[in-house]
Structure 1
Amino acid sequence: MKIKRSTITLWKKILKITVITALVFGVFYIYFRTNLFTIYTYEIVGAEAPAKIEIQNKLQEISKQSIYKIIPTNKILSYRGLKIKTIIKERLPDTSEISISPRSFHTLKITITPYSPLFRINDKEAVTKDGYVYQPLMPLNDLPMLVAASSTIKIENIDGLPANKLIIGEATSTELLFNAIANIIPKINTVLFNVTNVNVLPYGDIIISDESKESSVKLSFISNLDKEWSNVISAIDTEPLKGLLEKKKDKLEYIDVRFDNKVFYKFTNTVIPTIINASTTQNYENATTTHASTAVSAPTASQPSATTR
């Protein structure tokens, strides 16, 4: 008996649908009813005991729950990523980033990256060079204290979790400001004094000082901080400031580079600050005050002179 072509086509379609249905139900059965994709191990990188053990135990607890009472959360393709991040942030509030990825059918790898603190803003909170405020687990005593006028806290959403960000003026300028200060602080530590205080004043003035606040460097964020620091280096390599720093660095009150290429500095018991024009050159033989092309004028205790370079 000859079978019609239409009948053959129909049976092919039925067979195809049956196979696809069987495969779908097979996959669902294997995933939901067997242990082939069950998570047994949470591999945590970036956390130390006991926090690591506590997080792993907590994750094992929530893995017993289901989403909408149907979808298991202990499977490699249906774990609760946001819930995992929330648990980690609650236990480790100094966490910056959390990366979650399946490592095998039974292992979920979780990589934790902590914040890197730049300043402390009080006894409990620190701020990163990106402006994020958090509570570190490490001691804060070695961090410079930041005081910022007219600052606000903005709540941002990062990977579904809230994060507090310190804003000084515009958000973009805050990050630029902190990064610029972060680059200058090690240089001041090396050349002048150990930085323990950073005061950001209105209109962009920055006062970086030591623990006693008796020695400071005054900068302006409105200008280029790298250029201002270059002026500082140029000034401290010029007499008489070079000799004064060698003899009585601990008596330095301030170096001020907020005004174009001029560098002001003052030592204790000096009545009038000395001025160096950082854009000029030196002539050590003619120790007189001139403008734009010569240098130096040695200060006296009663009336320091202006120096141009």
Structure 2
Amino acid sequence: MQVQVVEVGPRDGLQNEKEMIPTEGKIRLIERLVEAGLQRVEASSFVNPRWIPQLADAAEVCRALPQLPGVRYSALVPNLKGLERARECGLTEVAVFMSASETHNLKNINKTIAETFPVLRETTREALALGMRVRGYVSTVFGCPYEGEVSLDSSRRVTEELVAMGVYEVSIGDTIGVATPRQVHEVFAALVKDVTTERLAGHFHDTRGTGLANVAAALEEGIRTFDSSIGGLGGCPYAPGAAGNISTEDLVYLLHGMGYQTGIDLVKLTEAGAYMQELLGRPLPSKVLQAALAQKG
């Protein structure tokens, strides 16, 4: 059985890094990820560089992406201006984003949830008119750093709105890594009834060590697409303590061990993780990466 892995390291993974990563390093990382067999890569973000300086080189990175059959690249866009920049770079897919919790949405987008819908609706409509694919992200589904618990009704409402706009897939995010498998079962069981398993993805953080357990729970609910970040890089600038996207190496190891197919070469993937670790000059959290490096001595 096939599971899709969406690599978000070049965007979600790097956006929290304080040390500026050279553009050439980002491009080489993406090349290595694609060489390892990843077919869906979120390359960067076209948000205002003042908010996320690390991704100010989005245009340069996206123009240099290796064009290979079957490989799809995307970038995060907040509005029509971001969409225009992404389109100019030749991208054929973008992602729009918002939160299920009001306070996080205000911190992240500077708008209420109600104010965000028309902006994303306009952006999505224009992207679809241009023949582009649009993915949607919903943050803080399993908990908010400012409000605590987030109602399932709010997550359902935002997800349904995004689907109605025309996004082909909604990534359901545990932005601060508080979810447990029971909660994952509850949330996805409800969302699957509203949408379908084919249009939902899981986006988990391993902040509290439950990331892969949550993937296993989502798999049991029929979810077959998961976001992950090379080496376990990442976190949200507007969610204190949210470090730790699940590692792509750890995710692929788990999936292969459970009998799922990903089309990804784990050896080449760990080499990409080792490259990223070398680029940053510090160990990365991925357990599979660290085990592979230890075996090499």
Taking structure 2 as the reference length, the TM-score comes to 0.20
Larger RCO of the pair (alpha carbons < 8 Å, separation 6+)? 2
Higher-strand-fraction structure: 1
